């Protein structure tokens, strides 16, 4: 179909300065849900980062920590 006939993308999710035209829920895996749940337990109990975390899991925790800090400060660094 020619591009001129395609409908413009519709925003399906938005939060503050972030928006997407693709459903973010379809991109969430069981593994990422597990990381989020483990991260929330880690934060609530104020635990130290375990030394037995995989590199991917440690990266996920650091990303979640950074995003949480941005959210708490209104999206500004």
Domain ranges of the chain: 3-72
pTM of the entire structure? Answer: 0.58
**pLDDT bucket at 75, cuts 50 / 70 / 90:** low
User: Looking at residue 6, what is its pLDDT?
Assistant: 73
pLDDT of residue 73: 82
Task: Band the pLDDT of 3: cuts 50, 70, 90.
Answer: low
Instruction: Point out which residues pair with 20 in neighbouring strands.
Output: 13
**CA proximity to 43, closest of 35, 51, 54:** 35
pLDDT in tens, 7-59: 777 888 888 777 888 887 777 888 888 888 988 888 888 777 666 778 888 88
Which H helix or E strand runs over 62?
helix 55-72
Tell me the three state secondary structure of residue 13: strand
């Amino acid at each position: 179909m020619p591009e001129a006939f395609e409908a413009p993308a519709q925003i399906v999710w938005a939060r503050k300065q972030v928006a997407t035209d693709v459903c973010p829920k379809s991109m969430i895996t069981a593994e990422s849900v597990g990381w989020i749940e483990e991260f929330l337990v880690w934060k609530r109990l104020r635990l130290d980062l375990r030394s037995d975390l995989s590199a991917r899991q440690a990266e996920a925790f650091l990303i979640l920590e950074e995003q949480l800090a941005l959210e708490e400060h209104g999206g500004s660094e």
